[in-house]
Structure 1
Amino acid sequence: MYEDRKQMAMAGWRNLLTQPEIRMTAEEQYDELLKMADAMQQEGLLTGAEWRQLIRDAGAVFTNAREGLEGGT
């Protein structure tokens, strides 16, 4: 059961990371990813190292999105 919950939560997180909702800004996507990671950690689904990696991944996607917007793409 624990592994099922973790897999479902991670799948939702990864989906939002790679396919943000329509009309979701980069900031909104980033905030939601952080909230999801925090919730998974609070539920005991993530180790500290896993949580940190999710935060780094969210930050990298946010940075790339912001650079893309500023670059005119």
Structure 2
Amino acid sequence: MQRSLRRSAVRTWAQIYTQVVNEQNIEDKYFKLLRTADDMESSGLIDGREWRKLVRKAGEFLASTAE
């Protein structure tokens, strides 16, 4: 059960990451990625190492949109 929930949560995070957004929604997407990673860690679906990886990837997304 936990493994299925974990896969689903990671898949949801990845879907959020790959969604196309307009310039006004970039920060919203970034914060949604962070909240989702936080929720996954606090519920025990991912560990601290995996959480850091997702947060880093969210940060890379934000940085890649900077002008």
Q: TM-score, normalization: structure 2?
A: 0.90
The CA RMSD over aligned residues, in Å, is 1.6
Q: TM-score, normalization: structure 1?
A: 0.83
Unaligned runs of 5+ in 1: none
1:24 Cα deviation after fit: 6.1
CA distance, structure 1, for counterparts of residue 52 and residue 61 of structure 2: 14
1:5 Cα deviation after fit: 0.2
Show the counterpart of 1:48: 48
Show the counterpart of 2:29: 29
1:40 Cα deviation after fit: 0.3
Runs of 4+ off more than 4 Å: 20-24
1:34-71 Cα deviation digits (max 9, x unpaired): 000000000001111000000000000111122xxx2x
**Which has the greater radius of gyration?**
1
Show the counterpart of 2:64: 64
CA distance, structure 2, for counterparts of residue 65 and residue 18 of structure 1: 13
Identity of aligned residues (%): 34
CA distance, structure 1, for counterparts of residue 20 and residue 43 of structure 2: 23
Residue correspondences, number? 67
Unaligned runs of 5+ in 2: none
SS at match of 1:63: helix
